[in-house]
Amino acid sequence: MLLLVGLAVCLSAAEASKKSTRPNFIIVVADDLGWDDVGFHGSPEVKTPNIDKLAAEGVILNNFYVQPICTPTRSALLTGRYPIRNGMQSSVIMTSQPWGLGLEEKLLPEKLQSLGYKTHLVGKWHLGFFSPPYLPLKRGFQSHFGCYAGRGDFWDHLSEAGTFMGLDLRDGEKPVMNEWGNYTTEMFTDVAISRIMDHDAKHPLFLLVSHLAVHSANSKAPLQAPEEEQKMFEDVKHPQRKMYLAMVASLDKSVGRIYDALTDAGMLENTIFMFTTDNGGASNGFDSNHASNYPFRGIKTSLFEGGIRAASFVNSPLLKKKRRVSKELLHITDWHATILSLAGGEPEESSDGKNVWDHLSDNRKSSRNELLLNIDDMVYQNSGLRVGKWKIVFQEPDEFTDWFNPPDYERDQYDSLERNSKVERTSMIKCGRKPAEAPDCTNGCLFNMRHDPCEYHDLSQVKNDVFEQLKAKLENYKKEMVPPRYKHDEDPNANPRNHGGVWSPWIDAEGEPVDHKPLPPEHKLPGQEDAKPEEEKPPTANAAIAPPQEAQHQQPTPSQQAPSQEVMKEKLMIPTTAYASRKHEKERSQDSSRNFEYFSDYDEIEPTEDASPEEDQFKAYSDEAQEADYVDKIGRFYVLDAAEGDNTAW
């Protein structure tokens, strides 16, 4: 018996010795999540128990900054450098624009892979895909499951850009055509969990989970969530805010499931779990969305706090001093420097990030006292800098540079609500009643962020000496800035119709057009029946170049609240079906008479009596198959007949 016990101890020690001693890194990046859209900041509306619990048990980063819009933040995280250093400072990469993060940049996953890490990306890339060298698998990630573009439908995984529409879902570099009806947030979560469960503990893990949620989707149905999450917010009157909150709830479930998978895999004790949004929320109908950055001023794209101060936390058993709120100045580039240092890499002179592990773990003072917010002279015409408690910002006013509360409330009403952080009261920020008139920062404003985080009072005249000092520092950064890589014109060669209906690289590594497989001219993708060429828009009053489609306000129509029957019946020549949500057991059955798969626990819904012969080919599955009015359900599952015609274009 003693011999057996001793043998078991030896085997256990041997297994433990095979595990890497360097930490694993799991980064979850939400998309367009507002400051006020997590419970730990005191919102009375949201339901984020998993996020709140992990924030409470870790370190809440209450003074953590990201870039004002998506692409620049992802660049800053993966390069460790301010976007002005590599031309990524202006706007985002629209899907049909031929540019990306420069190939001269060595990204974090490349550096970690050279140190023995396994590197995986799940979700959104959005750093350029017009040419193969720019793809994630060429930039250090050993696997990628997700999308190349910045937005897409959460159910059918199509992405629109102007008049173009195509599938945007990849496993590696291979298009994924059999996940229709699988809600994107849940699908990405399943894949992230599989990466964790399949990981060989002999190697340390770097996993970036880059969610599409809670970014708005395509224009016909901009906000989408599973019915289960929608039912959680039946008391919310505003239909779009309700849908948005349901999307947040689904995101929260994802965070909880991924964290639990670390426990199940026996990896948690040596893992650092990091959560942030990529930029502030899209509020007040901006981009057809209804996030809340309360009590901050502004939204995504702006350099007011609502656009750049992130809902963020770090959780890990490796943290020595937990359950606290950090108020130290931190930036997304610091995560790059900190991760690289903990992984065993050398400090980089070119990095703008600081290794802040001593602060995160031991609550020592942060080594950062200054950070560049951004300089964009091309598109949004704004710039800003933080130095200690002071902030200088140049930002012309527009309809989205005000203070916004959730749409069901007037400002005074929302101010008066009992706000109780589910975590820690010091993580909430209160500023009192907003001024009758917002400071005009066209010629620059100076704010004391310690006493005025909501940017009510411009002190540029009162503290003119401080204002001039920060202005001079900002001018020095401008001298170091490289020209933006941003390309305003969209390339017609990017049209997915030229590439079998799939968003794909359209320029090869030598700069020549990629051979393509065009769809037949009579084939229409969803939304293209009504698509009209966009008129060329002149530059906006406060921009040298008009902001791209993503950054322009679209007033949603009632038809955008849920998929219409016309959308359901739009024909897609794909020889596979929608897969239902993965919460159902995947017992697929193969129907020999039809070239598609379906879930055996779903009944077939017959088409309406007035359906045309072509429409008779369409079937659908839903969570409650008995309901004939399935088109009103958010889980819209396309099932297509491939028995007739040549459907191989996809």
Which residues are the active-site residues?
Answer: 70, 126
Note whether 335 and 26 are within 8 A (CB).
no
What token pair was written down for 158?
Answer: 């199509």
What token pair was written down for 555?
Answer: 């007033």
Place of tokens 């992990």: 54
Sign of CA dihedral 324, 325, 328, 330: positive
According to DSSP, the residues that pair with 145 across neighbouring strands are: 122, 171
Residue 248's alpha-carbon distances to 59, 80, 149, 242, 569, in angstroms, are 21, 28, 21, 10, 29
Q: β-strands 370-376, 382-387: how paired?
A: antiparallel
CA Rg, the chain, in Å? Answer: 25
CA 349 to chain CA centroid, nearest Å: 29
Asked if residue 295 has a cis previous peptide bond (ω within 30° of 0), the answer is: yes
Note whether 279 and 308 are within 8 A (CB).
yes
Angle (nearest 5°) at CA 424 between 422 and 429: 100
Contacts of 604 (CB under 8 A, 6+ apart): 598, 619, 621, 625, 639
Q: How crowded is the C-beta side of 220, counted as CA atoms within 13 Å?
A: 26
What is the rounded CA–CA span in Å between residue 498 and residue 264?
44
Residue 637's alpha-carbon distances to 408, 488, 634, in angstroms, are 32, 35, 9
Beta strands in 49-169 (DSSP E): 59-61, 64-65, 118-124, 143-147, 158-161, 164-167
Question: For 441-585, where are the alpha helices, taking DSSP H only?
Answer: 464-480, 565-569
Q: How crowded is the C-beta side of 422, counted as CA atoms within 13 Å?
A: 20
What token pair was written down for 389?
Answer: 């408690």
What token pair was written down for 4?
Answer: 């057996």
